[in-house]
Amino acid sequence: MELTGKRAVVTGSNSGIGLGVAESLAAAGAEVVLNSFTDRTEDHDLAATLAARHRVKVSYIAADMSKGADCRALIEKSGGCDILVNNAGIQFVSPIETFPVEKWDQILAINLTSAFHTTAAALPGMRAKGWGRVVNIASAHGLTASPFKSAYIASKHGLVGLSKTVALETAGQGITCNAICPGYVLTPLVEAQIPDQMKAHNMDRETVIREVMLDRQPSRHFATVEQIGGTTVYLCSPAADQVTGTTISVDGGWTAL
């Protein structure tokens, strides 16, 4: 398997996109470190399940991505990493004038500043090995905007900019840094929103998905966690050795509009 011998740290990876990415990396042979802010038995059981399924080492390390010291400690406790996937993120919706300051601070900390800390901690080890991959899970909202999501959009635009800067600072050193920009992805969190949307709009499931949730996604299909995982594996492959400092949209045409 092409990533055998590589260690991957994936932040915010006990569910959703992060878990899908971790699964794909493990399937490609990488050792994987799962992460979230909780430290439950089921988190560690999840790591054991992935390890058994893919016959690779998988561990779980709790770290609060809103705290810089925790972010850096995650990399240290992992023993460094060859592949860093900055995926942790949260959302909150409100007009700017009533947007809670504490929510703004929290979203910027988790969605953007955490990636600064983990990347800063991971790069020395990557440079020492002469190989590394930083993959930042941004969003279509890292390239465009919507109303009432000021903190999320600012953080994802910032993550795209950070990716470009890291790419330039590591160019020619065997290290790449890129951002994946998904549109709507069918995760358990999104799946849970569908019944409420059906009630609110008095529509059946397929209609509310197509006409409401995927209104800005021209394909009218959700992206999948497997597709985001596959894109991540590609960015870690030799085929992507010269792909750095860019964004890859997995958004069904959203940002082509």
Where residue 148 sits, what CATH number does that domain have?
A: 3.40.50.720
> Catalytic amino acids?
152
pLDDT in tens, 148-193: 999 999 999 999 999 999 999 999 999 999 999 999 999 988 999 9
Q: Are residues 51 and 165 in the same domain?
A: yes
Give the structural domain span for 49: 7-185+223-249
Residue 12 in domain: yes
Question: pLDDT tens track of the chain, all 257 residues?
Answer: 799 999 999 999 999 999 999 999 999 999 999 999 999 999 999 999 999 999 999 999 999 999 999 999 999 999 999 999 999 999 999 999 999 999 999 999 999 999 999 999 999 999 999 999 999 999 999 999 999 999 999 999 999 999 999 999 999 999 999 999 999 999 988 999 999 999 999 999 999 999 999 999 999 999 999 999 999 999 999 999 999 999 999 999 999 98
Strands annotated E in the chain: 7-10, 31-36, 58-62, 83-86, 132-137, 175-182, 247-250
Residues 206 and 236 in one domain: no
Task: Give me the pLDDT at residue 1, please.
Answer: 73
161 CB-side CA count, 13 A:
9
User: Got the DSSP string for 128-185?
Assistant: HHT-EEEEEE--GGGTS--TT-HHHHHHHHHHHHHHHHHHHHHTTTTEEEEEEEE-SB
Q: Are 182 and 223 a contacting pair, CB within 8 Å?
A: yes
Residue 2 located in a structural domain? no
For the beta carbon of residue 42, count every other beta carbon within 10 angstroms: 11
Q: Reduced to 3 states, what is the DSSP secondary structure of residue 238?
A: helix
Same domain flag for 192 and 113: no
User: What domain count does the chain have?
Assistant: 2
Residues 130 and 12 in one domain: yes
CA angle at 225 for the pair 221 and 231, rounded to the nearest 5°: 100
Residues 79 and 193 placed together within one structural domain of the fold: no
How far apart are the two ends of the chain, measured CA to CA in Å?
38
Are residues 41 and 161 located together in one domain of the fold?
Answer: yes
Query: Which string of b and e fits 11-24 if b means at least 16 CB within 10 Å?
Result: bbbbebbbbbbbbb
Distance CA(226)–CA(23), nearest Å, equals 8
Q: Are residues 118 and 210 in the same domain?
A: no
Q: How many CB atoms lie within 10 A of CB 145?
A: 14
Cα distance between residue 158 and residue 152, in whole Å? 10
Q: For the whole model, what pTM was predicted?
A: 0.97
Measured at the CA of 72, the angle between CA 78 and CA 250, to 5 degrees, comes to 80
Asked whether residue 103 is domain-assigned, the answer is: yes
My answer on whether 93 and 119 are in the same domain is: yes
Cα torsion 44, 50, 52, 55: sign: negative
